[in-house]
Structure formats: structure tokens, C-alpha cells
Amino acid sequence: MRTLRRLAGESAALVLAGVVFLIPFSFMLLTAVKDGPQSADLDFSWPTSWPIVANFREVIEARDYILLRAYVNSILVTVVAVGFIVVFAAMAGYVIQRRPGRVAAIANVLVLSGLIIPPAIVPTIWLLQGMGLFKTVPGLILVEIAFNLSFAVLLFRAFVAGIPRELDEAAMMDGCTGWKLFFKVVFPLLRPVAITVALTTSVAIFNDFVNPLYFLPGDDHPTVQTTLYSFQSQYSTQWNLLFMDIVLITIPPLLTFIFFNRKIVAGMTAGAVKG
Amino acid sequence: MVVDDRPSAGPRAKSAGPGPSRSARRRTGAAQPYSLYLPAGVVYLVIFLVPTAMAFYFSLTRWTLFESQFVGLQNYKDFFAEQSLRISLQNTLVYAVVTSLLKVVFGLLLGVMLTSRLRTTGFLRSVVFFPVLVSTVAVGITFSVLLRPDTGLVDKALALVGVSGTDWLGSAQTALLSVALVDVWKGVGLATVIYIAGILSIPQTYYEAVAVDGGGAWQRFRHVTFPLSWPATYSVVLLSLIGGLRSFDLIWTMTRGGPGFSSDVIASIIYKQYQAGFYGLSTAGNVVLFVLVTALILPLSWYLGKKEVAA
């Protein structure tokens, strides 16, 4: 009897948690497939008509295909930045772990400050402008690399600790040292953590709103998150289109989540608890 | 002429004592050259450290991005003299503390629930974690619709149980806390996952010991789960405090700092001053935020780390 009541209580709590987390998402989906007038009610009613294709086309074609251009920019920034982050952070994480001493201590302090210190925004804009990179896609890529390096280095450093040193030594016996040792022997072994870093940072960069807002302003180079911003002001009454946009830009993280759920979660916890 | 250095290498190697010989260690060192730091170091130095250092100088100037005129501490005086800017300082602290406390409480609660032996836990773990992956702006827009007065889903649900809701985002009393709650909704999945990892790593023997002593569920939680998941608490508190102090995008999409300045935080002030062209003042805000974060996080991580060792 007591166990039964406990089970009922726990199930109720679980259901409540499920409802609290699922309702906002079902609201997004429902509003995205309604017609204009009905979506303006912003309620939880069932759609009377289903203009899914029409809404989809209208969002895509809006403002000279701004959403498609934004997709191209966001994917470009994400892929290039994540590629560099994975390679650069793996190299740094490897030396930090393998060569303890004063240099590593300084590197560690820098990594931690990268996690804690809020970036100085206007001076960064000033610097990028001096380099001719303000309001350019390469400028934003550089910013995303610099701001996301620390977290990646931490994850790599923790992972390298689990790779036996003997492996380095065996490779050196075969005449492999320095950069060759790293890229031929060590880097391939870092694959599991490299995947975790790639997944978490790509979601973070794809979803980033603040840095594009500051470093890539204007409509010349939209990113998916800033389209939301402009859709919101343009379609303040066309809620179905705004929510269709939300649904469309949520699809990439959703797919990442569905395919790599376990890996993301495992890597996150490994880094967060040890770090 | 051939220089033979072997004789001198012999005694030196011997004097290095037991363990790997000195020359061997040096060789291992050279195998991991410091030049591997180079690419990451250069990007980090140029794009992150240089602007951070320059911020200290530019915060003391009246600045147009092209010309700067040294004005001493005037920007800081303005910052602390102006009512609206001082509110942002207080709001930043309230926001960071409230979000991290609630993330600890709900993260721990969900963590305990989702490590229990029930069938739906796998599904629920995914459901709770998913908001972490959705963009903050999308979450912000959705919730500002759900929180509308009267017609919003939250007020309608409250009306069903006979409670009359308010204008959550439109009233100065509730705006900041409403945004903080949405922040918790979005971020608690990460806290939960960290707690799940922490709880699963607690050896089963401790729970058996409690059972032998006749303890119930509360004793198990009070004497085993909570103290032994301390490393998870440490991570959750630090991560959400850092995130909370720097928070901008959710506040900006949901309230723009309003109504009035009631939900402005330092990060939104920095953006507003930047938009208005007050670059020096904006950068001074940046330095204030920098000092605030460092002054809170460094001692706290030291204190929590020490407690972790004691536990």
C-alpha cells in the first residue's frame, strides 16, 4: 500500500515535469501551422485549417529569402569556427596536460579566465574594425573561436589525462615527435571528446544571438537567430510566420539532439563535473 | 674535428637519480612542443585578451571608436550616479542568485526523480534536457507570448484554479523574476544532467548502510544523496552564477530591460549605451561587470572547492 502510494506520487511528479516542459513546445508547433487570423489569438486551440506549406513558403520567401541567406551564413560560421576550435583546443589541451610546469600553469589561468571574464565588447568591435573585419563573416568566426576555446580546452585536457603516456613514448621510439606525433598518433585518439566538443559548440554557435547582434549587425549578413529578431518586428501581427521561423531554426539543434543525445549528455557531464 | 660529448652526458644522467633520467624527460618535453599552443594562443590573445586589456583604458575616455579623449573616472561616476544604471547592478545580482538557487533546487529534485527506478525516466531526461539546446531567443519569444496578461496560457491556467494572474512581464514588480523563472526553465536541464551524473557515481553501499540503520527516503537524501553530490552542486552553482551574471539575450528578447529600468541588468545596459553611441560608458559597464564576476566567482570557487575536499 505504501509503495503504491509512493509510486503514484512519483508518477504524478514525473507527469507534471513532462507537462511543464512539453507545453511550450507544443504551443510553438500549433501556432506555426495555424492561419494568420487564428494564430493572432495566441491560444492553445486546435488549428481550424492547416496552411503548413503556405506558412513555410511565406517565411522562406520573406524579405528576399532572408531566412535562406541566414541559414547559409549560420552554417558557414558554425562549421568553420567549430573546425578550428576542435583542432586548436585539442592541441592546447594536449600540451597543457602533458607538460606541467610554469607555462601550463599560466595557460590554465588563461583558460579559466576565458570561462569567467565577460568579453569586452566595444573594444573588440574597435579591434575588428581596425583589422577590417567588423560586420564581416570572418570577423564573427574569429570571435566565436576565441570565445568558445576555453570550454573546449578544458574538455580535451580532461580526456588527454586518460591516454597513457607510454603511447607518446612508443611513438617517439618510432621517430615521431612534435606536431607529427600529435596529428598522426594523438589526435585520432581524441575522437570521442572531439565529437562532444563539436556537438556542444556547434549548438552554442548556431543558437548564438549576442555575438551576431554586436559583430554582424544589419541585414547584409543575417544569421538565423537575428532573423527571429527582424521577423518579430516585421510580423508583429503574423504570429504563425514568426513561430514557423522559430520551428525552422530549431530543427538543426533538434536533429543534433535526436541523433547524439547520449554523447552530448555524457560529454557535458564529464567536462562539467571535473572542470 | 669531432666533438665527443658522451663522457659528459654519462655523469649527468647518473646524477639525476631514480626515475626517468633527466635527458629522457627532456626528450619527452620536446615531443610536446609549446608551439602547439600557438594557434589557440594567437586567436585568444588578439581577439579576447587585447580587447579586455584595452577596455580598462577606453573606459576612462570619451570615445567615438575613432577618437578617444581621456576623462578619468567620469564614466564610472556617471554609472554609479545614475539611478537606472545602479538598478541594473542590483538586478544583475538578484537575477544571478535567484536563477542559480532555483537551478540547484530543481536540478537536484529532478536529478533524484530521474535516477529513480521508474519507466518514464529515459523519456523525461530527454524532455528536460531539450530546452538547453533550443535558442534563447526562441524560448524568450515563446514565453513572452505565454506570459501575456489575461489571454496568455499561464494566466488562463491560473484562472482555471481560481487565481487571477498579473501582467508578468509588464509590471515592474514581477518582470525580472518572470524572466529569471524562464531562465530556470531553459537551463535546469543542464543542472539535472550534472546531478544525474553525480548521483549515479555515489556507491550503492552508502544507501545500504542507511537501510541497515532503518532510515527512510528522507534519511537517504539527507545523509547520502545531498552531501555526496556536492561536486555536482559546486559545478551547478558556479556555471549558473557565471551565466546569470552575464545574462543578456533572454532579458533582451523578453522585456528589453523594461518596464522602465525594472529588469535591466549590466549586460543590457552595456548594449543600450553602445546603441546610443556612448562607447566609453558602455565599456565602463563592461569593466564593472568584469570586476563583479571576478569578485564573486573567485572567492566562491575557492570556498566551495575547499568544502568539497572536506566532504
Helix (H, G, I), strand (E, B) or coil at B245: helix
Residue A268's pLDDT is 58
Flag whether B107 is in a domain.
Answer: yes
Q: How many CB atoms lie within 10 A of CB A48?
A: 9
| Better-scored residue on pLDDT, B15 or B234 | B234
**What pLDDT score was predicted for residue A1?**
62
- What CATH number is given to the structural domain containing B280? 1.10.3720.10
- Please compute the mean of the pLDDT values over residues A96-122 and round it to a whole number: 93
Q: Chain B contact for A146, CB < 8 A?
A: yes
8 A C-beta contact, residue A70 and residue A87: no
Q: Are residues A118 and A160 in the same domain?
A: yes
The three cell numbers of residue A87 are 583542432
The pLDDT of residue B142 is 93
Return the amino acid letter for B277.
G
Q: Does B87 touch chain A (CB under 8 A)?
A: no
**Interface touch B142/A246, C-beta < 8 Å:** yes
* Interface membership of B275 toward A (CB under 8 Å): no
CB atoms A143 and B274 under 8 Å: no
Mean pLDDT confidence for A83-105:
95
Question: Does A273 fall in a domain?
Answer: no
Task: Classify residue B28: in a domain, yes or no.
Answer: no
Predicted local distance difference test score (pLDDT) of residue A238? 83
State the amino acid at position A156 in one-letter form: F
Inter-chain touch A179–B36, beta carbons under 8 Å = yes
Domain harbouring A215, CATH code: 1.10.3720.10
The alpha-helical segments, DSSP class H, found in B32-170 are 38-44, 50-58, 74-81, 83-114, 121-133, 136-146, 153-160
Rounded CA gap, A137 and A131, in Å?
Answer: 13
Q: 3-state DSSP call for residue A208? A: coil
Q: Is the pLDDT of residue B238 over 70?
A: yes
Contact (CB, 8 A) for A116 and A244: no
Contact B193 A265 (CB under 8 A): yes
The more confident residue out of A201 and A233 is A201
Cα B34 to its chain centre, rounded Å, is 30
Q: Shortest Cα distance from A64 to chain B (angstroms)?
A: 22
| Three-state secondary-structure class, residue B169 | coil
CA A158 to chain B, closest CA, distance in angstroms equals 15
Among chain B residues, the shortest Cα distance to A9 is held by B113
Residue B54: pLDDT over 80: yes
Distances B138 to A36, A129, B178 between C-alpha atoms, Å: 19, 30, 16
Chain B 159-218, residues with CB within 8 Å of chain A CB atoms: 185, 190, 193-194, 196-198, 217
Is A110 among the domain residues? yes
Asked whether residue A182 falls in the same domain as residue A81, the answer is: yes
* One-letter amino acid for residue A260 of the chain: F
Place of cell 529600468: B261
In a domain, B84, yes or no: yes
**Per mean pLDDT, which of A33-37, A206-210, B152-156, B170-174 is the most reliable?**
A206-210
Place of cell 567620469: B74
Residue percentage of chain B with pLDDT more than 90? 46
Residue A39 pLDDT class (50, 70, 90 cuts): confident
Q: How many CB atoms lie within 10 A of CB B292?
A: 18
- Ranking A35-44, A213-222, B209-218, B266-275 by mean pLDDT, the lowest is A35-44
One domain for residues A107 and A126: yes
Whole-angstrom Cα distance, residue B251 to residue B266? 11
Residue B228 belongs to a domain: yes
Question: Does the pLDDT value for residue B265 go beyond 90?
Answer: yes
**Does residue B276 belong to the interface with chain A, where contact is any CB pair within 8 Å?**
no
Q: Is residue A274 part of a domain?
A: no
Closest CB from B153, B245, B293 relative to A27: B153
Say yes or no: A52 and A71 in one domain.
Answer: no
Count how many domains chain B has: 1
Residues A128 and A51 in one domain: no
pLDDT at A87 over 80: yes
Which range marks the domain in which residue A1 is found? 1-59
Contact assessment for residue B238 and residue B300, using Cβ atoms and an 8 Å cutoff: yes
Q: Which neighbouring-strand residues pair with B63?
A: B68
CA B289, CA A228: separation in Å to the nearest integer?
A: 28
**Residue A196 burial class via C-beta count within 10 angstroms: exposed 0-12, middle 13-18, buried 19 and up:** buried
Q: Which of A131-135, A196-200, B298-302 has the highest mean pLDDT?
A: A131-135
Q: What is the pLDDT of residue A40?
A: 81
Q: How far is A258 from chain B (nearest CA, A)?
A: 9
**Across residues A119-142, what is the average pLDDT?**
95
Residue A275 lies in a domain: no
The answer, for B238 touching chain A at a CB cutoff of 8 Å, is no
The predicted structure's pLDDT at residue B17: 42
Chain A within 8 Å of B41 (Cβ-Cβ)?
Answer: yes
- Exposed, middle or buried: residue A90 (CB in 10 Å: 0-12, 13-18, 19+)? buried
Task: Give me the pLDDT at residue B176, please.
Answer: 94
B310 pLDDT exceeds 80? no
Query: How far lies B80's CA from each of B59, B85, B209, in Å?
Result: 14, 7, 56
Grid coordinates given for A110: 588563461
- More confident site: A103 or B310: A103
- The domain boundary residue, chosen from A13, A30, A59: A59
Quick one: DSSP state of residue A51?
-
B277: left (phi over 0), alpha (psi -120 to 50) or beta: left
Q: What is the CA radius of gyration of chain A?
A: 23
- Alpha helices for B201-265 (secondary structure H): 204-212, 217-220, 226-228, 230-246, 249-254
Q: How many CB atoms lie within 10 A of CB A262?
A: 9
Confidence of residue B44 (pLDDT cuts 50, 70, 90): very high
Alpha-carbon span A166 to B95, nearest angstrom: 49
pLDDT reading at A132 higher than 90: yes
Determine the distance in angstroms separating the CA of A150 from the nearest CA of chain B, rounded to an integer: 9
Distance from CA of B263 to the nearest CA of A (A): 18
Q: Is the pLDDT of residue A272 over 60?
A: no
Q: How many CB pairs under 8 A join A and B?
A: 257
In a domain, A213, yes or no: yes
Look over chain A and give the mean of its residue pLDDT values, rounded to a whole number.
Answer: 88
Question: Residue B32: which of A18, A95, A125 has the nearest Cβ?
Answer: A95
CB-based contact, B296 to chain A, within 8 Å? no
Q: Above 90 in pLDDT, residue B66? A: no
Residue in A7, A147, A273 closest to B48 by CB: A147
pLDDT value, residue B308 = 64
Is residue A104 assigned to a domain? yes
Among A15, A43, A59, the domain boundary falls at A59
Regarding whether A122 and A25 lie in a shared domain, the answer is no
Q: Which of B35, B156, B248 sits opposite A210 (nearest CB)?
A: B248
pLDDT confidence bin for A135, thresholds 50/70/90: very high
Residue A207 class from Cβ within 10 Å (0-12 exposed, 13-18 middle, 19+ buried)?
buried
**Residue B127 domain-assigned (yes or no):** yes
Of B220, B113, B226, the C-alpha closest to A16 is B113
Contacts 24+ apart (CB under 8 A), B90-94: B91/B176, B91/B262, B91/B263, B91/B264, B91/B265, B92/B245, B92/B265, B92/B266, B92/B267, B92/B289, B92/B292, B93/B245, B93/B292, B94/B176, B94/B180
**Any domain includes A156:** yes
Q: Which helix (H) or strand (E) holds A70?
A: helix A52-98
Closest CB from A115, A142, A213 relative to B242: A115
Chain A residues with CB under 8 Å of B129 CB are 257, 261, 265
Report d(CA A15, CA A252) in Å as an integer: 27
Cross-chain residue pair B151–A122, CB shorter than 8 Å: no
List C-alpha distances in Å: B144 to A42, A78, B178: 11, 28, 10
Domain that holds residue B123: 62-310
Q: What percent of chain A has pLDDT above 70? A: 93
Three-state SS at B68: strand
Q: Is the pLDDT of residue B13 over 50?
A: no
Structure confidence at residue A138 (pLDDT): 96
Length of chain A: 275
Can you give the pLDDT at residue B18? 46
Same domain, A117 and A168: yes
Task: Provide, as residue numbers in chain B, all residues whose Cβ is less than 8 Å from the Cβ of A233.
Answer: none
Q: pLDDT for B226-235, tens place per residue?
A: 999 888 899 8
**By CA distance, what is B184's nearest residue in A?**
A21
Same domain, A71 and A131: yes
Please give the residue of chain B at the shortest CA–CA distance from A45.
B153
Average pLDDT over residues B29-38: 84
Q: Which residues of A touch B137 (CB under 8 A)?
A: 209, 225, 228-229
The total number of structural domains in chain A stands at 2
Are B47 and A124 a contacting pair, CB within 8 Å?
yes
The pTM is what?
0.87
What share of chain B has pLDDT > 70, as a percent?
89
A3-17, A83-97, B170-184, B236-250: which has the minimum mean pLDDT? Answer: A3-17
Strand partners, B70: B61
Per-residue exposure over B149-171, b if at least 16 CB sit within 10 Å of its own CB, e if not: eeebbbbeeeeeeeeebebbbee
B24 assigned to some structural domain:
no
Q: Which of A43, A59, A75 is the last residue of a domain?
A: A59
Q: Which of A51-60, A205-214, B116-125 has the lowest mean pLDDT?
A: B116-125
Q: Tell me: pLDDT of A273 over 70.
A: no
The amino acid present at A40, given as its one-letter code, is: A
pLDDT at B268 over 80: yes
Shared domain for A126 and A214, answered yes or no, is: yes
Residue B153 falls within a domain, yes or no? yes
Per DSSP, the residues of A145-179 read HHHHHHHHHHHHHHHHTTS-HHHHHHHHHTT--HH
Confidence grade of residue B3 (pLDDT, cut at 50, 70, 90) = very low
The whole-number average pLDDT for the span B198-221 is 88
Q: For chain A, positions 61-120, list CB contacts with chain B under 8 A.
A: 84, 87-89, 91-92, 94-95, 98-99, 103, 107, 110, 114-120
**A208 exposure class (CB count in 10 Å sphere: 0-12, 13-18, 19+):** buried
Cross-chain Cβ contact A88/B27 below 8 Å: no
Same-domain pairing of A44 and A101: no
User: What pLDDT sits at residue A148?
Assistant: 96
Mean pLDDT value of segment A92-101: 93
pLDDT digits (tens, 9 = 90+) for A164-222: 989 888 988 888 888 999 999 999 999 888 988 998 899 999 999 999 999 998 888 99
Domain assignment present for residue A7? The answer is yes
